[in-house]
Amino acid sequence: MSQAPQNLSSLNPYSSPDASIRAELSEIDASLRTSSLFFITSAIFWLIAGTVLALIAAIKLHEPNFAASSELTTFGRMRSAHLNAMALGFGNNMIFAVCTWIMARLCRSSIRHGGLLLIAGSFWNIGLTLGIAGIIKGDITSVEWLEIPQYATPLLAISYILIGVWGIMAFRFRKGEHVYVSQWYFLGALFWFPWLYIVAQAMIIWAPAQGVVQSVTNWWFAHNVLGLWLTPMALGTAYYLIPKVLGRPIYSYYLSVLGFWSLALFYNWAGVHHLIGGPIPVWLISAGVVASVMMVIPVIVVAINHHMTVVGLHRQGWRSPTMRFVVFGAVNYTLVSLIGSTMALRNVNLITHFTHFTVGHAHHGAYAFFAMIMFGGVYYMMPRMLNREWPSAFLIRTHFWMCAIGILLMVFALQIGGWLQGLQMNDAENYPDFIEIVKNTRPYMIIRSVSGVMLLVGHIAFAINFFWMLFAAGTVRAKQGPTLLEAKKEGAI
Amino acid sequence: MKNLPLLFCGIFFTLAFSFTGIVLTSHLQFGGLAQTTEELEDDGEGQLVMIEGDPMFPRIEGGVALQGKQVYIEMGCIYCHSQQIRRESYGADIDRGWGPRATVARDYITQERVLLGTMRTGPDLANIGGRLQGDAGREWHHKHLYNPQITSKGSNMPPFAFLYTLQKIDGNPSPKAVSIPADSEYAPEPGYEIVPTRRAEALVEYLLSLKIDYSLPEAPILD
């Protein structure tokens, strides 16, 4: 705890009673207002589009004749369009909005030439629209996590670099000496992602490497999109939001350091666990398994650090929309990572590999952890951007409960169904007919579709609340204090 | 943290470490594998060499099958079907008759795009051409692709009926017509027939070409 004052001082400027510092902050917020709102609006559009695509794909797995008359809506394309809409449309736009903003605030440097950021962001979304239209049209590459056709990727790469540069520039012109833990994560991710993306594009699409070197590169990349892009962005966001909302410094500086470096070191070796049992040298797989198990260290360290920061303030935290989402995300980070480490063990992987269990795991990580923390970020950020409060606590509660219950239901359904599927697939004696195994997954596929509808309801509630706040300024009555979530709170809509 | 050079070096070297360890080392270790004969012989000087005149494996992709692979890619088949056979005693791939031996890195060297896959909503296809062969295999694939329920009742595979055309029988029925039993609920109206488009034909040729019917020195087919 000896480092606590240092950590506190790194946060201090932002909750400072000093009016000039607060003015500086609102100047930073203003410099990012247009571009951030653009990114969040885009993210919400992608979120809704991605959820609809997901539902189409989910329904097809139990009603194969649904939307089957055209090749445009066949399962492989709907599923891939969904993945890219969510990861690159929702995820990246969210990151561009929330993480750039947190970065600028922590660096205490306002963003110059915000207009250029807006142009880069527009190109990102144009490139992505082109790419997803390409997937649906049939130009899909069938390389997992890199489905976007070649004609759209350069646009994405260039606009990403432009946006990334803004994050780095904010850091370059920072004030103050201390660099806070969120900034380490953001800087790391901003640097790692383009490296991963360019290497993967080059070695799989532009100048394909020979044979299964492609597959190894593919999973080095794809797993690191989660591990070195989405994860650090969400963890950095949580590290910023938890102390801000609770007004309490992060529990331990040393745990922050240990958590960051062990994540940076181990996560990027873990991806090979997607090829366990596959036609690649065993030493590679062993390295992937070891790294996956070593991930327990950063996960436990971050869990302790976050938990000890929140401990004793759970009740207050629960009232804050931001904290509710962030705590849900942080708890699920611990859970999903420990499950992930277990899944990498050869004996466990033998059952889970090639099944819906893995699909459940991917959604657990990308949604219950990453997306939920990003939602928390938006709930924190918007009132400060617009100087307005969230119009409806009811819609926030709907968003939270529909998404929280929906995603947990989905993970349970896919992991129980997937586990049984795996056991049956490995048992050729009692389940000689593959079709029987397929039929046995059907109830779980139906539950998954139900969970998808719940998520859609949650997302629509979020979208309504957001656009209500954004466009109906005059009709949102001026509130006394922030919108909190409390059952008996008067004035809650 | 105030030591920025350490931060930046750390960020750089952590990824450089795995990039070197996973990607570059793989490329060096097995990125240059070549075709080989099924067995090797001793050249008399203690060196194992390829047997001259023997056919080389894996085969080179080409022809209509390669066009069919493009259809396989466009339809996103990989998201439900893997193309890798795991070794005996690790999973039931071989017990299920999905292939005579485990696939190894060399099996994939002639493929410009490797479609290993990570999902088995449907069965593995690495050796589907060995399991369903010739005209009988072709006929099965066309029925199955037109509507999987014809051959595999209860399957959740989507029908690919859009790769087929419904046409009026003009004189003699087309020799290519999909042979759906007349009493099947998926059979066309009398006087009509279902014929595959070029894409469906190519896709089926691709599936028929997926065969693990050869040994490699490091992965022999054992009887």
Query: Which residues of A are less than 8 Å from B84 in CB distance?
Result: 277-279
Range(s) of the domain holding residue B85: 63-146+199-209
**In this complex, do A214 and B155 lie within 8 Å of one another by their Cβ atoms?**
no
Q: Which residue(s) pair with B119 in the sheet?
A: A354
How far apart CA A406 and CA A457 sit, in angstroms, is 10
8 Å CB contact between A51 and A130:
no
Number of CB pairs, chain A paired with chain B, less than 8 A apart: 223
Residue A313 is predicted with a pLDDT of 87
Give the C-alpha distances (Å, rounded to integers) separating A135 from A12, A76, A143, B157. Answer: 47, 9, 12, 19
> In Å, how far is B4's CA from the nearest CA of chain A?
8
Alpha carbon B1 to its chain centroid, in Å, reads 51
Give the C-alpha distances (Å, rounded to integers) separating A326 from A371, A394, B99. Answer: 10, 18, 48
Q: Which residue is closest to A172 within chain B, CA to CA? A: B4
Q: Which residue is closest to B104 within chain A, CA to CA? A: A279
Give per-residue pLDDT as tens, B112-134: 999 999 999 999 999 999 999 99
Residue A177 is predicted with a pLDDT of 79
Give per-residue pLDDT as tens, A287-303: 999 999 999 999 999 99
How far apart CA A297 and CA A208 sit, in angstroms, is 35
The residue of A69, A107, A210 whose CB has the most chain B CBs within 10 angstroms, and thus the best one to mutate to test that interface, is: A210
Instruction: Write the ipTM.
Output: 0.94
> In Å, how far is B149's CA from the nearest CA of chain A?
10
Task: Flag the least confident range among A11-20, A62-71, A78-87.
Answer: A11-20
8 Å CB contact between A325 and A373:
yes
Segment 315-344 of chain A within 8 Å of chain B by CB: none
Size (chain A), residues? 493
How far apart CA A155 and CA A148 sit, in angstroms, is 11
How far apart CA A188 and CA A191 sit, in angstroms, is 5
Q: Which residue(s) pair with B193 in the sheet?
A: B167
**In this complex, do B162 and A69 lie within 8 Å of one another by their Cβ atoms?**
yes
Which of B10, B33, B77 is the closest to A210 by Cβ?
A: B33
Orientation angle between helical segments A231-246 and A253-266, nearest 10 degrees: 170
Residue A478 is predicted with a pLDDT of 53
A343 phi and psi, to 5 degrees?
Answer: -65, -20
Per the structure, how many domains does chain B have?
A: 1
Question: Are β-strands B192-196 and B40-42 bridged in parallel, bridged antiparallel, or unpaired?
Answer: unpaired
Residue B1 is predicted with a pLDDT of 67
Residue A476 is predicted with a pLDDT of 58
Give per-residue pLDDT as tens, A436-476: 999 999 999 999 999 999 999 999 999 999 999 998 765 55
Give per-residue pLDDT as tens, A190-248: 999 999 999 999 999 999 999 999 999 999 999 999 999 999 999 999 999 999 999 99
Query: Which helix (H) or strand (E) is B48 found in, with range?
Result: strand B48-50
Residue B147 burial by Cβ neighbours in a 10 Å radius (0-12, 13-18, 19+): buried
Average pLDDT for residues A258-267, to the nearest whole number?
A: 95
Residue A357 is predicted with a pLDDT of 98
Query: Which helix (H) or strand (E) is A183 found in, with range?
Result: helix A181-200
How far apart CA B98 and CA B131 sit, in angstroms, is 8
Query: Which residues of B are less than 8 Å from A82 in CB distance?
Result: none
| Residue B18 falls inside a structural domain | no
Residue B28 CB-half CA count within 13 A: 7
- A9 pLDDT higher than 70: no
Q: Does A278 touch chain B (CB under 8 A)?
A: yes
Q: Does A213 touch chain B (CB under 8 A)?
A: yes
Q: Which residue is closest to B80 within chain A, CA to CA? A: A76
Give the C-alpha distances (Å, rounded to integers) separating A347 from A91, A336, A344, A414, A418. Answer: 33, 18, 8, 19, 15
Residue A479 is predicted with a pLDDT of 58
| Residue B110 falls inside a structural domain | yes
- A130 pLDDT higher than 90: yes
How far apart CA B4 and CA A11 sit, in angstroms, is 18
Query: Which residues of A are less than 8 Å from B80 in CB distance?
Result: 75-76
Whole-angstrom distance between the N-terminal and C-terminal Cα of chain A?
42
The residue of B79, B80, B132, B197 whose CB has the most chain A CBs within 10 angstroms, and thus the best one to mutate to test that interface, is: B79
Q: How is residue A387 written in tokens?
A: 């100087």
The CATH number of the domain holding residue B103 is 1.10.760.10
How far apart CA B77 and CA A146 sit, in angstroms, is 15
Mapped onto helix, strand or coil, the DSSP state of residue B119 is strand
Average pLDDT for residues A167-180, to the nearest whole number?
A: 84
Q: Does B17 touch chain A (CB under 8 A)?
A: yes
What rounded mean pLDDT belongs to chain B?
94
Average pLDDT for residues B82-110, to the nearest whole number?
A: 96
- A155 pLDDT higher than 70: yes
Give the DSSP letter string of A49-115: HHHHHHHHHHHHTT-TTTT-SSGGG-HHHHHHHHHHIIIIIIIHHHHHHHHHHHHHHHHT-PPS-HH
Mapped onto helix, strand or coil, the DSSP state of residue B167 is strand
Query: Which residues of A are less than 8 Å from B14 in CB distance?
Result: 261, 264-265, 268
**In this complex, do A438 and B121 lie within 8 Å of one another by their Cβ atoms?**
yes
Segment 157-216 of chain B within 8 Å of chain A by CB: 157-163
What rounded mean pLDDT belongs to chain A?
91
Q: Is the peptide bond before B58 cis (omega within 30 degrees of 0)?
A: yes
The residue of A354, A356, A427 whose CB has the most chain B CBs within 10 angstroms, and thus the best one to mutate to test that interface, is: A354
**DSSP secondary structure letter of residue B165:** E
Rounded to the nearest 10 degrees, how much is the dihedral formed by the CA atoms of A387, A393, A397, A399?
Answer: -50
Give per-residue pLDDT as tens, A383-423: 988 888 899 999 999 999 999 999 999 999 999 999 999 99
Q: Does A143 touch chain B (CB under 8 A)?
A: yes
| Residue B75 falls inside a structural domain | yes
How far apart CA A60 and CA A399 sit, in angstroms, is 26
How far apart CA A347 and CA A90 sit, in angstroms, is 35
Give the C-alpha distances (Å, rounded to integers) separating A467 from A33, A41, A461, B4, B90. Answer: 15, 8, 10, 40, 53
**In this complex, do B157 and A64 lie within 8 Å of one another by their Cβ atoms?**
yes
8 Å CB contact between A271 and A225:
no
**In this complex, do B12 and A279 lie within 8 Å of one another by their Cβ atoms?**
no
8 Å CB contact between A182 and A102:
yes
How far apart CA B201 and CA B142 sit, in angstroms, is 8
Query: Which residues of B are less than 8 Å from A106 in CB distance?
Result: none
Give the DSSP letter string of A399-461: HHHHHHHHHHHHHHHHHHHHHHHHHHHT-TTT---HHHHHHHHHHHHHHHHHHHHHHHHHHHH
> In Å, how far is A106's CA from the nearest CA of chain B?
13
**In this complex, do B77 and A76 lie within 8 Å of one another by their Cβ atoms?**
yes
Segment 78-137 of chain B within 8 Å of chain A by CB: 78-80, 82, 84, 86-87, 90-92, 95-96, 102-109, 111-116, 118-123
| DSSP H helices in A201-355 | 213-225, 231-246, 253-266, 282-294, 296-310, 314-319, 321-343, 346-352
CA Rg, chain A, in Å? 22
Segment 80-99 of chain A within 8 Å of chain B by CB: 80
How far apart CA B90 and CA A106 sit, in angstroms, is 51
Which of A70, A216, A279 is the closest to B22 by Cβ?
A: A216
How far apart CA A463 and CA A458 sit, in angstroms, is 9
Question: Are β-strands B192-196 and B164-168 bridged in parallel, bridged antiparallel, or unpaired?
Answer: antiparallel
Query: Which residues of B are less than 8 Å from A350 in CB distance?
Result: 90-91
pTM of the prediction? 0.94
- A4-471 carries CATH number 3.40.50.1980: no
8 Å CB contact between A237 and A194:
no
